[in-house]
Amino acid sequence: MTSLDWTEKYRPRILSQVAGHNKAIEELRLWAQSWKQGIPGDRAVVLYGRAGTGKTTAAHALANEMGWEVIELNASDQRTAAIIERVAGSASQMSTLGGMRRLVILDEADNIHGNADRGGERAIIGLIKETGQPIILIANELYDMSAGLRGVCKPIQFNAVMSRSMIPVLRKITEAECITCGSAILEKIAGNANGDLRSAINDLQAVAQGRSSIEPDDITTGERDTKESIFKVMAKIFKGVDIIKAHEATFNLDENPEDFIHWVDENLPLEYTQADDLEEGYRNLSRASLFLGRVRRRQNYNMWRYAGVMMTAGIVAARSRRYTGFVKFQSPSLWKKLGQTKGTRSIRDLTAKKIGAYCHVSMSYTRSHLLSFFRMMMKDDKYAPSVAALLTLEPEEIAFLIESKSVTKKVQKIYNDAQSLIEKETEHEIELFGGFGARIQESRVSGEDQEEKPEVEVKKEVKPQRSLFDF
């Protein structure tokens, strides 16, 4: 049995092999067909949905089906304006030697920010507007992309893959690998994957590798820690009736209460149109805001739980009637006005990456468990420079950790002190290295001198040992 990754070995080669996305695949195919008539109105599409649902696989399968050459940039590549214009820009304007089109794929389009991707977003928007070749963007969260970037792309959603769609895929793999496996086992693997087909295949390989059959006792994969979509959580709050489920939905949400309260505030007047419900809703939301204020003043993060209850269960309890009709949830307008969605989250993620790299944990774990701890250390003048030096923090990242709105004199002082510590440490390392080299040279010289001198035998006086403990 080969050790090749099964997600690559059994990756779909054409769109019809992509499981569980009939509607999305049809939309993608129609968009591709429109390029046969010339340059269509939608020059780019964004495939968005949770990880492991087949977005990138579908893009490559489309290129293979259409006979298009692929040019791909992902998060491991720098995506500055210059690089995008040089790599993707030229590719988007010229076809191949055989006259076929090129497909430009930009992965993790919702994660284009920070120093590494400076100017990249503007370059991508300009690229899409001027392209003569098809472009596909890949994203997990559509609304983590800027409004400008969303506005030039046709969105195509990839939902979580249903278990019943995963099972035939897993069955084909077991048959190809000559592995005996019951349907109940495949159902369990698919169920544990929580809509992530890639994870299901990885779990199957982990269990089946080196075996000819799989027994129920071999299944040790646990339930995965899935992240709730912000829009699903909002629906449970504004449309649901269960206050416990509404509150628990936030447990797996990748947003902290400071950000989440803006979502509730923005959508509350859109959902609750009756004055009494709106009044009660804002009363509970204001109480949540009070608790958040106490968290900031007292650094007591236990109060987050009370704020969370008031902004979830409190909003559900404030509704006295059922509201019908569809209301599209809006992202916080405050973020749009102040640019917080891009700026603050960018700095937060860069800071979390540095902390995570030092602590050997993921960025997600850092954001949810470690940021508050490092904020406490950074607010202590005694430890702040040392922490900043240890993590090589930039002034903006220091300001984020001490919750300063801008780079103040205090932030600059911490940064300067940290740089001094780094310079001293560097000088110390150079001194140690230089001293080590000098000692080696000295030992060589002394060794040569010793060779010239005759050896003098020194006899030591041997004293009798009086006991086992007399050395």
Residue stretches of the annotated binding site: 49-56
Cα–Cα distance between 20 and 99 in angstroms, integer? 33
Cα–Cα distance between 283 and 241 in angstroms, integer? 19
Q: Long-range contacts made by residues 373-381, C-beta under 8 angstroms, separation at least 24? A: 374/401, 375/299, 375/401, 375/402, 375/403, 376/299, 378/402, 378/414, 379/299
Cβ 414 vs Cβ 385: under 8 Å: yes
Residues of each annotated binding site for ATP = 49-56
Cβ 194 vs Cβ 226: under 8 Å: yes
Cα–Cα distance between 198 and 290 in angstroms, integer? 43
Inter-axis angle of helices 257-271 and 275-298, to 10 degrees? 170
Cα–Cα distance between 407 and 10 in angstroms, integer? 51
In a 3-state reduction of DSSP, which class is residue 148?
helix
Of 353, 357, 364, 360, the residue nearest 400 (C-alpha): 353
Cβ 49 vs Cβ 39: under 8 Å: no
Which residues partner with 47 through β-bridges? 138, 156
Q: Which amino acid is at 159?
A: N
Cα–Cα distance between 19 and 468 in angstroms, integer? 78
- Structure tokens given for 340: 């917080």
Ordered alpha helix ranges (H), 249-339: 257-271, 275-298, 304-318, 333-338
